[in-house]
């Protein structure tokens, strides 16, 4: 039973939302951030780059977090942001040139996270958990929701369709040619229908935002300890999420790029791989896998198809059937010497939404010696692994939609 509830969002006025909301900070290049800060006084990037006001870009740690809070207060004082007077759900639709996503922004429960009603598929880094918890503690808000997914639900779909037939509170386009809509669900009857529908959902799965959710839960634990009147209903006991049905998620794979061959020549690498794979040299023909347990490799100017020798490989559980895990246990760790797959000095990942040519171009540039590609993981694989109490390797899934910051803001 999932606890999902409405909240009073802080959000931009209708006339400014297109200027205020931004992509996630990490997506922008330094040049793009500079241009937006120079020419858009309303962008949320001013809030999360607070040193810009004082021509000081190297503000770090708690000083930066406190300045973020101050810039946020200024946006509220200047009435760029206003808080809704009553709790609401927010139906958000993102329409791209190729896809259409529509779900519900809501407050989800820390208790559900601890009780495994909200399940994660990746381990988090303690250092990043603590950093973001400190950020939340000092700023007092979260501007980017966690992406959660759930089985398709006709009741929830009917409410979403009802509002899609009405005028949206927000309707705006962005420079990446995406179209954004937001509807405010403040009707008490509709709120009750949505809440009751989610009460029938046994599990919510984190699709994106593992560190955000874990840090929110860590903050809630610490605030509860320091609150002698803690009841469990305080705003800090919840975190903002975007709930999207499973059928709407788009999952892409990450390509792997390796900087060296661990002392092997290309010919020696092929001999080592032969123990685990049937290998076909495809020459200059771009090869992309079409089945599970098939891999593409670009090495020394040529594409190869690698087909797992299933009679030799030992399938022990659902994780062992995952292609990213197979590649690690048969190639990356034993042959190429990559024990820590988070170690960017040896391995780099890149999401693959293109035609796969990146496998070739990055190796041909000389930066990497070999690259690997595979089929994307599907939602069924993800759920099976999570429900078995297992964790997927890092950079197994690149999941869309990617959400904008400051479309709705959750205060605690």
pTM, two decimal places:
0.94
| Interatomic CA distance for residues 23 and 43, integer angstroms | 10
**Domain at 251-376, CATH class:** alpha beta
Q: Is the pLDDT of residue 56 over 80?
A: no
| Interatomic CA distance for residues 99 and 78, integer angstroms | 36
Where, residue-wise, is CATH 3.30.1760 in the chain? 251-376
Q: Is the pLDDT of residue 29 over 70?
A: yes
Tens digit of pLDDT for each residue in 250-273? 999 999 999 999 999 999 999 999
Tens digit of pLDDT for each residue in 111-132? 999 999 999 999 999 999 999 9
Q: According to the model, what pLDDT value does residue 355 have?
A: 67
pLDDT, mean over the chain: 95
Tens digit of pLDDT for each residue in 349-398? 998 776 678 999 999 999 999 999 999 999 999 999 999 999 999 899 99
Q: pLDDT tier at 4 (50, 70, 90 boundaries)?
A: very high
Mean pLDDT for the stretch of residues 28-41: 93
Q: pLDDT tier at 274 (50, 70, 90 boundaries)?
A: very high
């Amino acid at each position: 039973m999932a606890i999902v509830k409405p909240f009073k969002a802080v959000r931009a006025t209708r006339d400014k939302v297109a200027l205020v909301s931004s992509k996630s900070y990490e997506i922008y290049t330094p040049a793009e951030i500079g241009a937006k800060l120079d020419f858009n006084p309303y962008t949320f990037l001013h809030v999360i780059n607070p040193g810009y006001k004082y021509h000081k870009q190297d503000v770090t740690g708690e000083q930066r977090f406190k300045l973020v809070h101050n810039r946020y207060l200024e946006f509220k004082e200047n009435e760029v942001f206003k808080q809704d007077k009553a709790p609401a759900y927010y139906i958000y639709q993102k329409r791209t040139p190729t896809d259409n996503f529509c779900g519900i922004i809501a407050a989800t429960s820390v208790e559900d996270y601890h009780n495994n009603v909200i399940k994660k598929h990746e381990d988090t880094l303690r250092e990043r958990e603590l950093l973001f918890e400190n950020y939340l503690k000092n700023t007092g808000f979260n501007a980017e929701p966690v992406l959660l997914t759930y089985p398709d639900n006709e009741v929830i779909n009917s409410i979403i369709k009802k509002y899609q037939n009405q005028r949206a509170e927000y309707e705006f386009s962005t420079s990446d040619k995406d179209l954004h809509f937001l509807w405010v669900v403040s009707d008490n009857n509709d709120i009750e229908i949505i809440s009751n529908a989610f009460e029938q959902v046994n599990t919510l799965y984190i699709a994106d935002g593992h560190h955000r959710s874990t840090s929110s839960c860590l903050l809630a634990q610490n605030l509860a300890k320091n609150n002698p009147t803690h009841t469990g209903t305080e705003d800090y006991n919840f975190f903002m999420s975007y709930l999207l049905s499973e059928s709407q998620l788009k999952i892409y794979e990450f390509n792997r790029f390796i900087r060296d061959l661990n002392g092997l020549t290309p010919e020696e690498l092929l001999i080592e791989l032969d123990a685990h794979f049937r290998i076909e040299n495809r020459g200059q023909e771009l090869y992309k896998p079409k089945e599970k347990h098939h891999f593409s490799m670009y090495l020394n100017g040529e594409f190869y198809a690698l087909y797992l020798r299933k009679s030799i490989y030992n399938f022990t559980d659902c994780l062992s059937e995952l292609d990213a895990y197979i590649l690690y246990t048969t190639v990356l760790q034993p042959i190429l010497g990559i024990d820590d797959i988070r170690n960017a000095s040896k391995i780099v990942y890149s999401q693959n939404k293109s035609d796969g040519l990146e496998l070739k171009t990055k190796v041909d540039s000389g930066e990497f010696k070999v690259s690997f590609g595979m089929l994307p993981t599907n939602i069924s694989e993800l759920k099976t692994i999570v429900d078995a109490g297992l964790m997927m390797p890092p950079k197994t899934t690149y999941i869309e939609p990617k959400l904008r910051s400051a479309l709705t803001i959750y205060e605690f």
